[in-house]
Amino acid sequence: MDYKVVDMNSYYRKDIFRHFSDDCKCSFAVTARVDVTELKAFSKETNTSFYLNFLYILSRTLNSREDYRFYWDYPNSEMRLYDRINPIQYVFHEDTETITVVYSEYYEDYKTFYDNAKADLDKGKATREYCLDEKAHPNWFDASSLPWLSFDSMTVELPDGYLYFNPIVNWGRFREENGRLMMPVAIRLNHASADGYLAALFYRTLEKEIAGLCGKGGDSEC
C-alpha cells in the first residue's frame, strides 16, 4: 500500500478542494450507458467471464490517473495518493440473499488479475460472512454489479461533508439498443477531488480500455 501525502499548497486543485471541503461540501454521481458489445463478444470467444473482464477494465481505468487514487486520512487531516487502487467485489448468495465483501488486488497484467480475482470470488462464495474490513483496505474502491436491473440513474448517499474520495462504481444489466449492447455504469465521486471533466474522462477511458482488451485499439494487453 505505497502512497505519498499530497502537498495541499502545490495541489493543482487546491482552491477547488478548499471550496468543496469547507464551503460547499458535496459529492456527485453520474450514470451513462457504455457500449459493451465487443466486450460481450470477446468474453464469449475466449470463454471468459464478462463480469471479470469488465472488472479488469474498470480497475485499469481508475488506475490510469492520480485523481481517482486519492484517500482522505481523517486522523491526520491528510490526503494520500496511492500508487494503485484495488477493487472491492461483492458475492451475492442466492440462498440467503446476502452479500460477502471480497477484496481483490489490481494487477496490470490481464491474466494475473483475472486468475487472482476469480480465485477471490470462489473463496467468497464459500462463506456467508459479510467480511467488511475497511481499516485494512484504505486504497480499495467499490465495484458492484446489479445484474438484475438495467437502470437509468443511481445515486450513492454518504454523510454531508464526508471526504470519501475512493470511487464507487455500480453497473447494471445491459440491454440491446439499435443493435448494440448498452450497459448502465454509475460512478460516485467527491467534488473536492473531482469534477465533471474527470467524470467524463472516466467514461472515455473506460471505452478506450474496452477497445484495447478486445483488440480494437487502445493500450490494454491480454
Which residue shows C-alpha cell 477493487?
A: 87
Rounded mean pLDDT, 87-93: 97
The yes-or-no verdict on residue 217 having pLDDT over 60 is no
Model confidence pLDDT, tens digit, residues 28-83: 999 999 999 999 999 999 999 999 999 999 999 999 999 999 999 999 999 999 99
**Burial of 106 (C-beta count, 10 Å sphere; 0-12/13-18/19+):** buried
Predicted pLDDT at 143: 98
Predicted pLDDT at 157: 85
Instruction: State how far the Cα of 210 lies from the Cα of 186, in Å rounded to an integer.
Output: 17
Tell me which amino acid residue 156 is: V
Model confidence pLDDT, tens digit, residues 41-52: 999 999 999 999
| Domain assignment present for 219 | no
Rounded mean pLDDT, 82-109: 98
pTM for this prediction? 0.95
| Domain assignment present for 221 | no
| Domain assignment present for 7 | yes
Q: What is the CATH number of the domain that holds 184?
A: 3.30.559.10
| Domain assignment present for 218 | no
Model confidence pLDDT, tens digit, residues 116-160: 999 999 999 999 999 999 999 999 999 999 999 999 999 998 887
Predicted pLDDT at 90: 97
The number of domains in the chain is 1
Q: What is the 3-state secondary structure (H, E, C) of the chain?
A: CCEEECCCCCCCCHHHHHHHHHHCCCEEEEEEEEECHHHHHHHHHHCCCHHHHHHHHHHHHHCCCHHHCEEEEHHHCEEEEECCCEEEEEEEECCCCEEEEEECCCCCCHHHHHHHHHHHHHHHHCCCCCCCCCCCCCCEEEEEEECCCCCCCCCCCCCCCCCCCCCEEEEECCEEECCEEEEEEEEEEECCCCCHHHHHHHHHHHHHHHHHHCCCCCCCCC
Predicted pLDDT at 161: 74
| Domain assignment present for 191 | yes
Model confidence pLDDT, tens digit, residues 144-201: 999 999 999 999 988 877 899 999 999 999 999 999 999 999 999 999 999 999 999 9
Predicted pLDDT at 216: 67
- Can you give the residue range of the structural domain that contains 142? 3-213
